[in-house]
Amino acid sequence: MTLRLFDTYEREVRPFVPLDNREVGIYACGPTVYNFVHIGNLRTYLFEDLLKRVLFANGYKVNHVINITDVGHLTSDADTGEDKMEVGARRTGMSAWELADFYTAAFQVDFTKLNILPPDIWCRATDHIEEQIAFIKDLEDKGYTYQTSDGIYFDSQKLDDYGHLARLDIEGLKAGARVDQGERRSVTDFALWKFSPQEEKRQMEWDSPWGRGFPGWHIECSAMSVKYLGDYFDIHCGGEDHIPIHHTNEIAQTEASRGTRLANFWLHGYFLQMENAKMAKASGEFVTLERLIEKGYTPLVYRYFCLTAHYRSQMSFSWENLNAARTALGRLYSAAWSWGEPGEASKIYLQRFTDCLNDDLNMPRALAILWELVKSDEPDPVKKATLLVWDEILALDIQAWRPDSLEIPEQVNELVRQREAARENQDWQGADKLREQIARLGFTLEDGRDGTRLKRSENV
C-alpha cells in the first residue's frame, strides 16, 4: 500500500505524493520557549518524528524545519495580554533572551532523550524579524492590513474563505463574540505587528516601518516556512489546538501574500490529556520528561506509551497507563534479547507492518502485528531481524538493551528499604502494605533464603 495521510484542510485521507519528486518539505510549529515543554507537547513532536521515519521508510528524503517561538506569543490567543516571554523573564529573573536560550536547549535535550530526529533547520522568530517585516509590508501593499492604536492587523474579511481549515462558522463567531474586539474590524482579525506599549520598556522590540514593536505570533511561521521551504510545500504539522487560530491565520497570510494554502497536507496531532489535571504550560503544574525520569521511567517508555495511540485520537495520561507501557516495553526488550542473533527478516510481517503505517500512520495496529510476531512460532532469528527493521521506525533502541539495564525507580528502592526496616521491626502488616505499594509500581518482591529479590511484575 502506498502512503496515505489525513489532511485536515480537505478533511480526508488521501494518497501522499510529494510536490518535488523525492524530497519532502515539512514545517512543524515549535514551542514557545517561556517554560519547559510538557509531555503533551512532546507527544506532538513524537508524532512528527513517526511521520518523518515513515517517509524515510517510503524512500523519501525529508527537509524538516522547526521554529522556536521566542517572541510575540501573547498570553491570550486573541492578541491581547502580555508577551509570554516577558512574563517568563519576570518569573525566572532571567532576561527574555536568556530565557529563550535556556528553554530552547532544554527542549532539544528532550528531543535527544526521546530519540526524536533533529530537524534540518531550527529557526528562531527573533532571528527573522526582517523577513517578517517584509512579509507584513507585502500584505500591506496588497491591501490586507489596517492600523489600530496598538498595531497592524490582518483584515480577515478580505479573504473569501478565511477559516476553511477549521471550518470556522464566521457569522456565528461574530454574533457570539464575547471577547473584546477592541478596534479590530472583525473578531477573526489578528495582529501582524504590535507596537511596544508606551508605559513599559519591552526587552524584545525592533524598529519597523510602522513604529517600534514586535511581530505577532502567526507571521513568524508564514515568513520562515516560505523562506526555508518555498511558497507551497508538502506538509505542515502541529497540535490540534493550532487548527482554529494559529494555522488558520498562517494560511490567511500566505494565501493573501503568495496565493497558496502554504502546504499540500496539514497534519495535526491530537492532545494528551491529564487525568484530573491540566496539561497546560501556563497552568504552572505540568509533567515534564524530566519528572518522568526522576520517577524512574526511561524516556523511551514514554516514547512507547505514545506509540500505543493513533496520532489522531486524544490520549489520556495516567501513571497506571505509563506503568503498563513500561511493562510491555520491558517484555519486548527481554524477548528480543533472548532471541539472540538476527537472521533474515520476515517479508510478510514487514509488509503488514508497513501497510498499517502507510494507512495514515496507524501505529496501534502496527504494534498489534508486532505482538503477534513476538507470540508467533517464527524462528527466533527471523523475529529478531524483523524487529530490528521495525526499530528504525519505533526507535526504541532494541538492539542496545541488556537484561542488566532493568532500571529500578528510586521510589521503588525507597519502599524496599522501608519494607526491610518494617520486617526488622517485625511489623508484618506494615511490610505487607509496602509490598502492595511496590506491586502497584510494577515490581514483585520474592523473599528467598538468600535474601529478597526484586522483579518486574509480569502482568501490570
Which chain residues interact with ligand AMP by CB under 6 A?
29, 31-32, 40-41, 43-44, 238-239, 241-242, 269, 271-272, 279, 281
Dihedral of CA 420/424/429/430: which sign?
Answer: negative
Q: Which of residues 203-242 bind Zn ion (CB under 5 A)?
A: 221
* Residue 346 binds which of ligand AMP, Zn ion, none (CB < 5-8 A, kind-dependent): none
Residue 241 interacting partner from Zn ion, ligand AMP, none (CB closer than 5 to 8 Å by kind) = ligand AMP
Contact call for residues 443 and 454 (beta carbons, < 8 A): yes
CB of 404 to ligand AMP, least distance (A): 34
* Distance set, CA 20 to CA 14, 16, 234, 243 (Å): 17, 12, 8, 26
Q: Which residue has 494518497 as its cell numbers?
A: 15
- 272 contact choice in Zn ion, ligand AMP, none (CB below 5 to 8 Å, kind-dependent): ligand AMP
Closest approach of Zn ion to the CB of residue 27, in Å: 8
Here the cell at position 43 is 507527544
Q: Please report where in the chains the cell 532539544 appears, as a residue.
A: 108
Pick from 3, 26, 28, 29 the residue near Zn ion by CB under 5 A. Answer: 29
From the list ligand AMP, Zn ion, none, partner contacted by residue 40 (C-beta under 5 to 8 A by kind): ligand AMP
Q: How far is the CB of 121 from ligand AMP (least distance, A)?
A: 17
User: Is the four-CA dihedral 36, 40, 41, 43 of positive or negative sign?
Assistant: positive
Q: Which is nearer to ligand AMP, 144 or 304 (CB)?
A: 304
Distant-in-sequence, close-in-space partners of 325: CB < 8 Å, separation ≥ 6: 301, 302, 304, 305, 308
| Shortest reach from residue 270's CB to ligand AMP, in Å | 7
Contact of 2 with 15, CB cutoff 8 Å? yes
3 binds Zn ion (CB under 5 A): no
Q: How far is the CB of 131 from ligand AMP (least distance, A)?
A: 20
φ and ψ at residue 95, rounded to 5 degrees = -80, 160
- 35 or 67: CB nearest Zn ion: 67
- Pick between residue 17 and residue 277 the one whose CB is nearest to ligand AMP: 277
Residue linked to cell 509500581: 441
Amino acid identity of residue 109, one-letter, is V
Nearer to Zn ion, 44 or 156 (CB): 44
Closest CA to 262 of 27, 62, 4, 24: 27
Name the residue with the smallest CB distance to ligand AMP.
239
Residue 132 interacting partner from Zn ion, ligand AMP, none (CB closer than 5 to 8 Å by kind)? none
Sketch the per residue contact string, 171 through 210, with Zn ion: x for CB under 5 A, - otherwise: ----------------------------------------
Closer by beta carbon to ligand AMP, 263 or else 279: 279
| Smallest distance, Zn ion to C-beta of residue 147, A | 24
Cα distances from 146 to residues 150, 155, 223, 278, in angstroms, run 11, 7, 19, 37
Calculate the CA dihedral of residues 435, 441, 443, 445 and round it to 10 degrees: -10
| Cβ closest to Zn ion, residue 221 vs residue 292 | 221
CB of 168 to ligand AMP, least distance (A): 18
Query: Please, what is the minimum distance in Å from the beta carbon of residue 103 to ligand AMP?
Result: 10
Minimum Å gap between C-beta 280 and ligand AMP is 7
Under a CB-based contact definition with an 8 Å cutoff, are residues 216 and 192 in contact?
A: yes
User: Using CB distances below 5 to 8 A depending on partner kind, what does residue 221 bind out of Zn ion, ligand AMP, none?
Assistant: Zn ion
Chain contacts with Zn ion (rule: CB under 5 A): 29, 221
